[in-house]
Amino acid sequence: MINAILVFNNHGKPRLVRFYQHLAEEVQQQIIRDTFHLVLKRDDHICNFLECGSPQPCPCPHSLFGGSDYKLIYRHYATLYFVFCVDSSESELGILDLIQVFVETLDKCFENVCELDLIFHMDKVHHILQEMVIGGMVLETNMNEIVAQVEAQGKLEKAEGGLSAAPSRAVSAVKNINLPEIPRNINIGDINIKVPNLSQFM
Amino acid sequence: MALKMVKGSIDRMFDKNLQDLVRGIRNHKEDEAKYISQCIDEIKQELKQDNIAVKANAVCKLTYLQMLGYDISWAAFNIIEVMSASKFTFKRIGYLAASQCFHEGTDVIMLTTNQIRKDLSSPNQYDTGVALTGLSCFVTPDLARDLANDIMTLMSHTKPYIRKKAVLIMYKVFLKYPESLRPAFPRLKEKLEDPDPGVQSAAVNVICELARRNPKNYLSLAPLFFKLMTSSTNNWVLIKIIKLFGALTPLEPRLGKKLIEPLTNLIHSTSAMSLLYECVNTVIAVLISLSSGMPNHSASIQLCVQKLRILIEDSDQNLKYLGLLAMSKILKTHPKSVQSHKDLILQCLDDKDESIRLRALDLLYGMVSKKNLMEIVKKLMIHVDKAEGTTYRDELLTKIIDICSQSNYQYITNFEWYISILVELTRLEGTRHGHLIAAQMLDVAIRVKAIRKFAVSQMAMLLDNAHLIASNTQRNGICEVLYAAAWICGEFSEHLEEANQTLEAMLRPKVTTLPGHIQAVYVQNMVKLYASILQQKEQAGEKEAAQEITQLMIERLPQFVQSADLEVQERASCILQLIKYIQKLQVKEVPVAEEVIALFAGELNPVAPKAQKKVPVPEGLDLDAWINEPPSDSESEDEKPKTIFHEEEQRHSRHRQPEIDEEELARRREARKQEQANNPFYIKSSPSPQKRYQDTPGVEHIPVVQIDLSVPLKVPGMPMSDQYVKLEEERRHKQKLEKDKKKKKQKKEKRGKHHRHNSLHTESEEDIAPAHHVDIITEEMPENALPSDEDDKDPNDPYKALDIDLDKPLADSEKLPVQRHRNVETLKSPDSEAPLVEKKSKKPKKKEKKHKDKERDKGKKKEKEKKVVEEEEEEVKKGEDLDFWLSTAPPAAPTPQPQSEPGMGTAVVAESQVVKKEEREEQDEEEEDEGKKSSKHKKKKHKKEKEEKSKDKKKSKKKSHHSEEEPPESVQNGTLEDEPLPPMSSYRLLAENPYIKMTYDIQGNLQNDSQVTVSVIFENKSTSFLKSMELNVLDSLNTKMLRPEGSSVHDGIPVPFQLPPGISNEAQFVFTLQSIVMAQKLKGTLSFIVKNDEGSTHEKLDFKLHFSCASYLITTPCYSDAFAKLLESGDLHMSSIKVDGISISFQHLLAKICFHHHFSVVERVDSCASMYSRSIQGHHVCLLVKKGENSVSIDGKCNDSTLLSNLLDEMKETLSKC
């Protein structure tokens, strides 16, 4: 089971928070902070697993996740950390690959995903994630299948006219003009990511 | 009116959407909290509006704020509102918000049940999907109970997309509602062989989760999983299955044997590291479960270790880490094979990655032996010196202590060395683990008698250098070692050589800066020291020296009397008075030493930490019995004398009873005492508070060790563990030489007999004798208690509830609660559940019989295994058995039996014959059905075999049996045939002009028995912009359009969107009805504004809305049993039609009826099918459709004859078009 999926940036700002069991908001934020401090200390060349029982304060104390066999599996892409908290029934390398699939799917759905996409389209990121993992269990690992489902739902949404009808889109386009230019420098797609045997896996 | 609409959309234009909110937060970095609270106020305003789009937008923003840590539970009701929106866009937003913030404590969650049920049965697969996803996050026990049946139905949905989601969610349902596990399990098992790999993977996932918690219940699935493992190519599935086998093998070693070969093959063949790693892990689990020392498995161990070495040597830190992790598992059972890779592990200690270093440390723990302990610890000590950061250093420290103290100091051959290591560790700055070192010092000094003299000397040195320890690490735990040092010096003061000096060290003023509990120990132990010095001096006749030491105490003790710590103060003042008294006696020249030393006479025995808890309750002691009868409240004071009298009587009578067997009791007591006396581990109740001397039986059993000291005990200066390493090496060398000599002699004597020591140069463990005989005193434990006794497990384990035997056949009562039809009038329609139960009650009897047979079989199993199987029938039966499967030799040929228990599959399949209509997606489903068919053929075969066995088959059951044989998917809207269905749409044309085209569909509303929803699709055919659309109808007496409150019956309803050229969009309108037995037509008008470059014009389009009777029907699944009962009830009117000239296939025909008239297929046999539907007002409609050569006849039964005839007429019309 996956217990939580957290995405935050290099400064610990949450970009996606998905807990698969209910926790109060303060506790969630505390976990995000703790997790952030844990992964921040680790440079990019050390392993991507963090286990409870290591000397550091455990981000998932027993009282929160009801068991001691949880571990954090994370990947760091450019400005973002993708952290999965899983129990012993998940394969460590499998989850690493899953993170990779998640990021690649985001990349495909957003066309060269960057942190800004996640910031402004948190709902869409959630919808993509929901096609991969539901209730803490892995639903689909095939990227093409995930993308197909996400797109089909996107089409459905478009057919319904979307959340905001066309005119207010125009308004928000106008609003966009005043926006200070934010550099789109967080291109994930360009960064060469080393994944063990992704091709064989999927 | 038009103005109102325009205003509405302008308002909306200035609403913030999610992007605006995010942008705003980013622009208000300084006063973010203030800005957000402003936004929340706005959101609250938006939520108050009626427009669902505005609400959805608000909820979407709330979801974002939730991520930032804001509590949004106050909006729970609004979230539900958005969830129940008809548009997918809004629905999805609502469900997302709910999944983020709903939980069992959310009180409005109970309002969602019907909404979710409706969404689950929505014709749009994404509505269903979104509902399932949401449900997975916030399912409560109530929701689980109410929706279990619906979700189970979805597990057989035509779309794999829904199936796999439904399968996964069942796990959550099981957790919340454990009763659902048994009824749903057969279907879940079925899904393991689903044609869609995604569904299969989901089922594997769920069963693995279940099995992980309660593996024994899932052993019977092993053959099935084995088959999957050898056939699947999906690595995800493989990994899950292999992990599952890892959990199952400890329960069934034979399974392990079977697994080794395919796993080894996978290890050799796979290129995916993740799979390789899990295979290795499971092989290790298998090897652990098998009795060690099986010669033919050493190859497997070697293979694992080899592969792991490759992982560890990899440059990828992740692989290195996992390699070490797996290695530590092998270590437990096959330490030898790991020890040969010591070089590699030690190398990992130098890795820059702390996680890897820690893993390597764990490994070292298991790798030590008597031979290499000193070497490894020496290496670790070097790392301690080098280590940066206190956390890692502390970890090293604890590991060193763990390694040395493991299994009762098994690997320590030289305790002087160990003590000096401990002393060296005290020099660590800033460690948190002072108490650990202290505990070790105490433990070793108490339990290893031989080392006391040396320990005392070292401790004295520590006390002397206390200023080093206490000064710079005042706040740190290292001063804890002084606690141990003071106690050891005091308790074993007889070994102290320069007691005076130590006493003075303990009396230094600096001591008062130590923590209170340490000072307390100081005070107590300086008296012990004092006592032993006093005795020494008295014996030597040095009276002045004795008085001097007393004087010293009296001078220095007051500093402790002034201590703020209560414990210290109390002890100090008490002792001060004592010593003052001693001084008085000394002045009178009375010898006092004997008496003073008697204060501390006796020895303290080590007691195991769990001992207190494990003391058994003595025989005959009832801890719950009253010692004194509690005074009863009701009695008034006047009656008191009476009660006393009464009580006395009682007591007397009670007293008498034991008197009867007083003798017996005495005998028992004596026996127990005897037993206790013989048991060295029993804590005696000593009659006097004085401690026993060494000759009491408590310590007698501990042999007093005679040490032949080959190592000088006193090492000048601070101890250096290295010295001991060298000494130890020398000693070992000497020993070896001696042994070699002996061996040579032996060899000469007994030639050829010896095959134990093949190589002379590798020392085996046993060869290293400890430096001196060390007696390690075992910690005391009460009788019959083992220190390793497991303490009770957590009773609150949520998975305990799922520990359910799944092999037992289902009982009658075990059913998922089915939604009851609330609108059904009892007079007109039979309760659909009653017949179900009645019919079923017959079946289980038969099943029970089967089950009993089966159980008997199981009982005999063991005998049978020994016997040669004679009867063929027996063999077939056993084929279903796990034991049989496990005992068959070739692992590659598992029995293709999908169901190991014949009794259980049938019950549920029949029960859950739920058919869902899913016309629009039919085409996708064609391929799957092909796949299904092949697997079904297999199943059928097996079932037939089984049926042949059950001889008491009754004719009357034929029908239900038939339905059992035909799993629900097969009849799903009759799509069994291979030919594809033509695309169908339920949307009919409403009206059309050059600007706009309207198509509509009418659907009954489940929640309301007098409402239908008309969905209209507006399509802009022009090149102009269409806006301000407004739809109006002329209400009839019977049928009315639902208008917003306050508007008149003549007002139109605005269409909530505008249409750019070429765009189409859907809007929904609700109509209320009184009678539904007749079709209705309503006239209406759509007005709209056409806007193009030339300007805008106002346009109108008239239409006629046709409410067919079919539109009042709701596709409702029906079980064949209930269907049969319904027909038999006789409450229904009958009517029939016949249509000639039908050329389309029966399958298409059924599909058309299902689709256009909202029926579902109950059963289908050849060219005959029964169908069912229900009206929104609860009328049951049953059809029997028969296909002849070129004609179709339909017999219908319904509560209402008018409705039926109208329906049949409509059907005739549809069919005649074919």
Single-letter code of the amino acid located at B122:
S
Give me the sign of the Cα torsion angle B753, B757, B761, B765.
negative
Instruction: Test A161 with B1057 for CB contact under 8 angstroms.
Output: yes
| Choice among B225-229, B308-312, B620-624, B768-772 with the minimum mean pLDDT | B768-772
- Over residues B1174-1198, the mean pLDDT reads 85
The number of residues making up chain B comes to: 1218
Candidates B351, B365, B438; CA nearest to B396 is: B365
Q: What pLDDT sits at residue B1092?
A: 81
Hey, which residues does B163 pair with through a beta bridge?
none
Distance CA B176, CA B187 (A): 19
Q: A148 at the B interface (CB within 8 A)?
A: no
Q: Do B57 and A168 meet the contact criterion of CB atoms below 8 Å apart?
A: no
Indicate the DSSP class of residue B1014.
E
Q: Do A193 and A99 meet the contact criterion of CB atoms below 8 Å apart?
A: no
Chain position carrying tokens 């325009």:
B6
In this predicted structure, the answer to whether residue B464 has a pLDDT above a threshold of 80 is: yes
Q: How close A107 comes to chain B (CA, Å)?
A: 20
In this predicted structure, the answer to whether residue A82 has a pLDDT above a threshold of 90 is: yes
Indicate the DSSP class of residue B801.
G
Measured N-to-C along each axis, helices B373-386 and B721-749 cross at an angle, to the nearest 10 degrees, of: 160
Q: What pLDDT sits at residue B292?
A: 52
Q: What pLDDT sits at residue B833?
A: 41
| Choice among A80-89, B577-586, B981-990 with the minimum mean pLDDT | B981-990
Question: What is the CB neighbour count within 10 angstroms for residue B666?
Answer: 10
ipTM of the complex: 0.86
Q: Do A169 and A161 meet the contact criterion of CB atoms below 8 Å apart?
A: no
The distance of Cα B838 from the centroid of its chain, to the nearest Å, equals 39
| B719 or B334, higher pLDDT | B334
Chain B CB contacts of A55 below 8 Å: 358, 391-392, 394-395
Tell me the residues of chain B between 360 and 419 that have a Cβ less than 8 Å away from chain A: 391-392, 394-395
Q: Taking the CA atoms of chain B, what radius of gyration do you get in angstroms?
A: 43
Instruction: Test A200 with B161 for CB contact under 8 angstroms.
Output: no
| Choice among B202-216, B665-679, B1111-1125 with the minimum mean pLDDT | B665-679
| Alpha helices per DSSP H over B102-140 | 113-120, 125-138
Q: Do B699 and B682 meet the contact criterion of CB atoms below 8 Å apart?
A: no
Distance CA B410, CA B311 (A): 32
In this predicted structure, the answer to whether residue B715 has a pLDDT above a threshold of 70 is: no
Q: What is the pLDDT of residues B138-153, one digit of tens each?
A: 999 999 999 999 999 9
Instruction: Test A54 with B56 for CB contact under 8 angstroms.
Output: no
Hey, which residues does B1002 pair with through a beta bridge?
B1014
Chain B CB contacts of A201 below 8 Å: 235, 272, 274-275
| B98 or B900, higher pLDDT | B98
- Over residues B349-366, the mean pLDDT reads 83
Q: Quick one: tokens of B120? A: 């689950």
Single-letter code of the amino acid located at B46:
E
Q: How close B1066 comes to chain A (CA, Å)?
A: 7
Q: How close A33 comes to chain B (CA, Å)?
A: 11
- Provide long-range contacts, Cβ within 8 A and 24+ apart, for B559-563: B559/B509, B559/B512, B560/B512, B560/B519, B560/B522, B560/B523, B563/B512, B563/B516, B563/B519
| Choice among B212-216, B522-526, B1008-1012 with the minimum mean pLDDT | B1008-1012
- Strand B1160-1165 versus strand B1039-1041 pairing type: unpaired
Q: A155 at the B interface (CB within 8 A)?
A: no
Distance CA B391, CA B397 (A): 10
In this predicted structure, the answer to whether residue B791 has a pLDDT above a threshold of 50 is: no
Chain B CB contacts of A34 below 8 Å: none
Give the 3-state secondary structure of residue B1097.
strand
pTM of the shown model: 0.58
Distance CA B1103, CA A119 (A): 47
Q: Quick one: tokens of B993? A: 């002009």
Chain position carrying tokens 């804001």:
B70
Distance CA B644, CA B632 (A): 12
Distance CA B1218, CA B1213 (A): 9
Distances in Å between the Cα of B191 and the Cα atoms of B295, B546, B560, B935 are 40, 90, 77, 11
| Choice among B833-847, B988-1002, B1140-1154 with the minimum mean pLDDT | B833-847
Per-residue burial over B424-446, b = 16 or more CB atoms within 10 Å of its CB, e = otherwise: bbbebeebbbbebbbbbbbbbbb
Q: A173 at the B interface (CB within 8 A)?
A: no
Hey, which residues does B1059 pair with through a beta bridge?
B1026
In this predicted structure, the answer to whether residue B96 has a pLDDT above a threshold of 90 is: yes
Distance CA B964, CA B975 (A): 18
Q: What pLDDT sits at residue A177?
A: 47
Distance CA B1057, CA B1028 (A): 8
Name the pLDDT band for B840 (thresholds 50, 70, 90).
very low
In 3-state terms chain B splits into helix, strand, coil percentages (rounded to 5) of 60, 10, 30
Q: What is the DSSP string of B521-570?
A: HHHHHHHHHHHHHHHHHHHHT-HHHHHHHHHHHHHHTHHHHT-SSHHHHH
Which range in B295-299, B397-401, B931-935, B1095-1099 is most confidently predicted, on average pLDDT?
Answer: B397-401
Measured N-to-C along each axis, helices B125-138 and B113-120 cross at an angle, to the nearest 10 degrees, of: 140
Name the pLDDT band for B881 (thresholds 50, 70, 90).
low
Instruction: Test A171 with B168 for CB contact under 8 angstroms.
Output: no
Residue of A nearest to B245 (CA): A89
In this predicted structure, the answer to whether residue B160 has a pLDDT above a threshold of 60 is: yes
Name the pLDDT band for B769 (thresholds 50, 70, 90).
low
Candidates B894, B905, B883, B897; CA nearest to B806 is: B905
Name the pLDDT band for B784 (thresholds 50, 70, 90).
low
Chain position carrying tokens 């029934």:
A89
Hey, which residues does B1081 pair with through a beta bridge?
B1106
Which range in B165-179, B620-634, B813-827, B1115-1129 is most confidently predicted, on average pLDDT?
Answer: B165-179
Q: Do B472 and B429 meet the contact criterion of CB atoms below 8 Å apart?
A: yes
Q: How close B430 comes to chain A (CA, Å)?
A: 16
In this predicted structure, the answer to whether residue B1058 has a pLDDT above a threshold of 50 is: yes
Q: Do B1212 and B1193 meet the contact criterion of CB atoms below 8 Å apart?
A: no
| Choice among B749-758, B780-789, B1005-1014 with the minimum mean pLDDT | B749-758
Question: SS3 for B68-112, per residue?
Answer: CCCCCHHHHHHHHHHHCCCCHHHHHHHHHHHHHHCCCCCHHHHHH
Distance CA B267, CA A190 (A): 34
Distance CA B176, CA B1085 (A): 51
Q: Do B817 and B147 meet the contact criterion of CB atoms below 8 Å apart?
A: no
Q: What pLDDT sits at residue B834?
A: 41
CA-based angle B394:B398:B403, to the nearest 5? 145
Single-letter code of the amino acid located at B255:
L
Q: What is the pLDDT of residues B655-698, one digit of tens each?
A: 444 444 566 667 777 776 666 656 555 544 444 444 344 344 44
Instruction: Enumerate residues 6+ apart whose C-beta is below 8 A from B514.
Output: B470, B479, B482, B522
Residue B463 has φ and ψ, to the nearest 5°, of -60, -40
Candidates B1177, B1183, B1176; CA nearest to B1204 is: B1183
Distance CA B1149, CA B940 (A): 26
Q: How close B149 comes to chain A (CA, Å)?
A: 19
Name the pLDDT band for B1006 (thresholds 50, 70, 90).
low
Q: What pLDDT sits at residue B1012?
A: 84
Chain B CB contacts of A195 below 8 Å: none
Measured N-to-C along each axis, helices B922-949 and B872-879 cross at an angle, to the nearest 10 degrees, of: 140
Name the pLDDT band for B288 (thresholds 50, 70, 90).
confident
Q: Quick one: tokens of B798? A: 């949520």
In this predicted structure, the answer to whether residue B268 has a pLDDT above a threshold of 80 is: yes
CA-based angle B1182:B1187:B1193, to the nearest 5? 55
Q: What pLDDT sits at residue B917?
A: 41
Question: SS3 for B366-389, per residue?
Answer: HHCCCCCHHHHHHHHHHHHHHCCC
Q: Do B984 and B1042 meet the contact criterion of CB atoms below 8 Å apart?
A: no
Give the 3-state secondary structure of residue B766.
helix
Q: A69 at the B interface (CB within 8 A)?
A: no
In this predicted structure, the answer to whether residue B759 has a pLDDT above a threshold of 90 is: no
Q: What pLDDT sits at residue A174?
A: 47
Q: Do B886 and B258 meet the contact criterion of CB atoms below 8 Å apart?
A: yes
Q: What pLDDT sits at residue B7?
A: 47
In this predicted structure, the answer to whether residue A163 has a pLDDT above a threshold of 70 is: no
| Choice among A102-111, B552-561, B563-572, B1120-1129 with the minimum mean pLDDT | B1120-1129
In this predicted structure, the answer to whether residue A79 has a pLDDT above a threshold of 70 is: yes
Q: Quick one: tokens of B27? A: 């622009």
Q: Do A118 and A125 meet the contact criterion of CB atoms below 8 Å apart?
A: yes
Candidates B227, B242, B157, B151; CA nearest to B198 is: B157
Instruction: Test B66 with A93 for CB contact under 8 angstroms.
Output: no
In this predicted structure, the answer to whether residue B1029 has a pLDDT above a threshold of 70 is: yes
Distance CA B968, CA B965 (A): 9
Q: Do B445 and B423 meet the contact criterion of CB atoms below 8 Å apart?
A: no
Instruction: Test B168 with A135 for CB contact under 8 angstroms.
Output: yes
Q: A202 at the B interface (CB within 8 A)?
A: yes
- Over residues B1193-1199, the mean pLDDT reads 86
Candidates B148, B175, B171, B183; CA nearest to B809 is: B183
Distance CA B811, CA B802 (A): 17
- Over residues B1030-1043, the mean pLDDT reads 84
- Over residues B851-863, the mean pLDDT reads 48
Q: Quick one: tokens of A164? A: 């905001």
